[in-house]
Amino acid sequence: MYALECRKGIPVLLKDVYVELIILPDVVFKPKMINQCLIAFSVPLKMLDSSDTTNLEQSIFTAFIQALIHFGIVNPLITDAVIADMFKEAKGRFLIIAKSNSMLEVNDGETNCHYVSKRYCDVVLDEIADFLGRKGKEEKLSIEDSKSIIGSVADYVATEAKELIAKFNTEQLLYNLLSLHHAIVYWSGLTHGRFKQLSEAYAYIGAKFENQLEYLNQYSEMNILTQGLIEYIILDDIHNEQEEQSIENIDRLFALMHFNTNMGSYIDQLSAGLPNSELSILDNGRLALPKTLIDRINSYFYRLRELGLNHPELLRELNSLMPQYDIDTTTPEFNTAYEKEFGLSFEKYMSLFHTAYDYALKNQRPIVKIPLHVFKNQIAGKCLTEQEFSAFMEHYVLQKSLKTEELKPSDQWLQRYNRSVQLTARPWVLFEGNLYFTTKTLCESTMILMERLSNGTIRKRSKEMNSFVAGINKEKGHLFTMNVSDYYKKLNIEGVYINEEVAVKPGKWLNADSDLGDIDILLINIPRKLIVCIEAKDFVESRTVYELIQQDRKIVTKELAHVVRRDEWCKKNILSFQKYVEAVDKTYTVKTIFLTYNESAYNYFEHEEKVDILFLSAIDLIENPMVVFD
């Protein structure tokens, strides 16, 4: 109604009224005037569940307005044609009933969420200040002192969290945490799916739909913290039957985990020796992290999330024009590598996944707690041999026996991704003789497994999987190069020569004195007298601060030097490119681009040594193909 008045300039209400909306299974779709100030508007639930929801919001709203006009409450100038025109103009919708095929977006009743309490974060900050005991003087610490202080704080909050866990009934806490993780997976998927429509609906009335980005950040954090708490219970073998649960203890627990994760991310920054990463202590004893550095790093993750929410069409176009590598799970090479790595075939594991999922659906229990021997007999026994079941327990189940001297400390750092004891890597949880799993956690884990296999980032121990992943990475690099080349060929830009994998080495047309590698994509823009040399790297997106730092370090220490040397050679030997385009002369210039499929980590860090290289991502090319010639 506000949209009608805002966009169509028609005064809507003739008088005030209270409207009661009733959605029930068996009601009749009709309005009813209860009294002069109250109207009841009934909508049958089956209408919302109908197969065709395309025009549902318009149909309900039109009927609603017609009823209010009939009762003399709404301006009769608001005709069906006016309403239809408004819905035609507005691309988005407020009433979204999407028919999703994703298991993650099915509402199974387990939807209760919890978020980190800002108030309790403030309380924990004071607790940390008391623990440090350095009040009364503001001071900026050295790198070494910063490492020492932040390390002691990280140990303190982790210890406090584990001691607090032991005050809960751990069996009930574990079940509740699994239920919470299940709900977080649901809301994260749902928010992504509906954001675009809601955002465009708000934009139509001149507003912004900003809080969903905040929700996604909260879901992402709670996903990490919840996994961390589950790991603490299992790996530290915490048991308690007494119940001292309170909302204050729950809020304090998540606040402690919040700082545990954040301190871990900051430790990764300190360990990398990033400039201006020193810690400060305020006169009230509170810690002050280097905001400028952290904000710059966080802007990378904000950019990725903002792209996914506000510009899904760009990502769809990117995936269409430059599809990423998709693993084929039917090849003998894949199956051999998978079985050597995990002790059972991928087909057998997926059979177990579906059997367990069906068991949960049949029993209407999306969060399953089942005695291990019953699970083995009734679920695993249908698809796994005794030997395969042992392999399943070893590679897929989170259990206390994993905490050995061989377990790396970094595998227990919550701020890291792709950890061997992470719930998403081991979605089956063994505790006190019972096996726990949730349908959505299983789905998320399987999706992440496939993503890591396709990206070539899976944790690997066997030589077969190492060899298989090496082959994937080689194929991915070639595929990205050819996709970028094909993208520019299809644009058919007049006067632009295109070639790929052009060697710069002795005996080749670009006859360098030494092997300077290949120009992955060569573009020669004749009208602009510009030679563009593109180095294409199909780097996966970074999920954590640590991964972002490592990717930047890889670019600087392993990738960039030979790109710079080749760039310098090309600039000194411009006439060598005449072998590809005869029109090239000394007035041409050379431009080298370091292109990554995902957002480049290099742009988010300071570098002492400046290079004459432009860093772009594939999204930059989709947004503006001519950016390479600017």
pLDDT 10s digits, 214-240 = 888 899 999 999 999 999 999 999 999
- What is the CA 570 to chain-centroid distance, rounded? 39
Q: Residue 31: pLDDT band by 50, 70, 90 thresholds?
A: confident
Using CA atoms, how far residue 300 sits from 294, 598, 600, in Å, is: 10, 11, 9
The amino acid present at 416, given as its one-letter code, is R
Mapped onto helix, strand or coil, the DSSP state of residue 470 is helix
Predicted local confidence at residue 548, as pLDDT: 96
**Average pLDDT score over residue span 305-328:** 83
Q: Cβ(475)–Cβ(325) under 8 Å? A: yes
pLDDT 10s digits, 310-319 = 787 888 888 8
Rounded to 10 degrees, what is the CA torsion of 354, 359, 362, 366?
-90
Predicted local confidence at residue 616, as pLDDT: 97
Which of these CATH numbers, 3.40.1350, 1.10.3470, 2.60.40, 3.30.70, describes 473-629? 3.40.1350
- The least confident of 28-32, 258-262, 333-337, 359-363 is 28-32
Tokens describing residue 425:
């890597």
State the pairing for strand pair 18-24/38-44: parallel
Using CA atoms, how far residue 48 sits from 337, 386, 442, in Å, is: 47, 48, 29
**Average pLDDT score over residue span 78-96:** 83
Going from N- to C-terminal start, the domains of the chain cover 2-89, 118-289, 332-461, 473-629
* DSSP run (H or E) holding 391: helix 386-396
Q: Which residue has the tokens 């607090």?
A: 164
Q: Which residues does 379 contact at the CB level (< 8 Å), separation at least 6? A: 352, 355, 356, 359, 370
Q: Residue 53: pLDDT band by 50, 70, 90 thresholds?
A: low
- The least confident of 105-109, 191-195, 541-545, 608-612 is 191-195
Predicted local confidence at residue 50, as pLDDT: 56
Q: Is the pLDDT of residue 42 over 80?
A: yes
Q: Residue 375: pLDDT band by 50, 70, 90 thresholds?
A: very high
DSSP notation for 501-536: EEEBSTTSSB--SS---EEEEEEEETTTTEEEEEEE
Better pLDDT: 543 or 91: 543
Strands (DSSP E) found in 139-187: 139-140
Predicted local confidence at residue 310, as pLDDT: 77
- The least confident of 97-106, 508-517, 555-564, 606-615 is 97-106
* Backbone torsion region of residue 133, taken as left when φ is above 0, otherwise alpha when ψ lies between -120 and 50, otherwise beta: left
**Average pLDDT score over residue span 8-21:** 87
**Average pLDDT score over residue span 8-37:** 83
Better pLDDT: 461 or 47: 461
Tokens describing residue 489:
């060929």
Predicted local confidence at residue 590, as pLDDT: 98
Q: Cβ(590)–Cβ(570) under 8 Å? A: yes
Q: Is the pLDDT of residue 324 over 90?
A: no
Q: Cβ(17)–Cβ(69) under 8 Å? A: no
Predicted model pTM? 0.85
Q: Is the pLDDT of residue 94 over 80?
A: no
> Across-strand partners of 288?
280
* CA 77, 80, 86, 92 torsion-angle sign: positive
Predicted local confidence at residue 49, as pLDDT: 61
Percent of the chain with pLDDT over 70: 97
pLDDT 10s digits, 469-486 = 999 988 888 999 999 999
Tokens describing residue 93:
């919708």
Q: Is the pLDDT of residue 403 over 70?
A: yes
Using CA atoms, how far residue 467 sits from 329, 333, 472, 480, in Å, is: 16, 10, 9, 20
- The least confident of 15-29, 144-158, 245-259, 509-523 is 15-29
Q: Residue 54: pLDDT band by 50, 70, 90 thresholds?
A: low
Q: Is the pLDDT of residue 389 over 90?
A: yes
